[in-house]
Amino acid sequence: MPTALITGATAGIGAAFARRLAADGFSLVLVARDEKRLTSSAESLRLRYGVEVEVLPADLAAEEGLTAVEARLREGVDLLVNNAGFGHPGAFLDVPVADELRMLKVHCEAVLRLTLAALPGMRERDRGAVVNVASVAAFFTRGTYSASKAWVVNFSESIASELTGTRVRVMALCPGFVRTEFHDRASMDVSGIPRFLWLSADDVVDEAMRDLARGRRVSIPDIRYKAIVGVGRLIPRGLAGEVSRRLGRR
């Protein structure tokens, strides 16, 4: 039975990955900060899907948490989903530097270190995959969040290129607005986001898994967001950034 490790696994896209992979017969290792919520999620998945579920409470912004997850990955997994992440409600100059550094720790350092912990074993077995959850924001300019997600996309594509000729895959997943707890936790006002732009986490994961099976290096779920990214690449970056700023948080 294959094993998948998912960070940020108790809500949103991470929880959707857990449901989908459990339904596909994966044993799961769930990583999140909230041990009580992790335990509850694990029990629900065991009862519903009859799979083995291990819980690993860890804060990926802390060295102790990162080290613990690295150690578990070195024991061997077949799929790593780097999903943990968060956003800030304020503009760059209004956010404390400690909060910005914490974001970079989770979005960039954790993704790099956990990917590096998982890949040697996958390459040795010549099978396995890493999905790094980025965002459509990676293709636009809006503060540290979009910058960090742009790094995730570039990193994922670079590593995927290095693994050409193997059966190990690395893919960046770049969803748009998804109905999750993400915006509420960041105290973001998203009332101005048109209803038609919202996606469900389960649909995002289903398309991600299809793209991973096809060998895609970047997955942009939904035709609407594929079009938005395509148009964004054709207009001046300054204009694209201004549109992104106005459309997003207030």
Starting at the edge strand found earlier in the chain, the sheet holding 79-82 runs: 53-57, 27-32, 3-7, 79-82, 128-133, 168-173, 218-219
210-244 pLDDT, tens digit each: 999 999 999 999 899 899 998 877 765 565 555 55
Active-site residue set: 145
Q: Which CATH number among 3.30.70.3000, 3.40.50.2000, 3.40.50.720, 3.30.450.40 corresponds to the domain 3-248? A: 3.40.50.720
> CA triplet 197, 198, 202: central angle to 5 degrees?
135
Q: What is the value of pTM for the model shown?
A: 0.89
pLDDT band at 250 (very low <50, low <70, confident <90, very high): very low
179-198 pLDDT, tens digit each: 765 555 645 555 567 676 87
28-87 pLDDT, tens digit each: 999 999 999 999 999 999 999 999 999 999 999 999 999 999 999 999 999 999 999 988
Joined tokens for residue 31: 């990583």
Write phi, then psi, for 129 (nearest 5 degrees). Answer: -155, 150
CB 172 within 8 A of CB 213: no
Q: Break the chain into its structural domains and give their ranges.
A: 3-248
113-157 pLDDT, tens digit each: 999 999 999 999 999 999 999 999 999 877 899 999 999 999 999
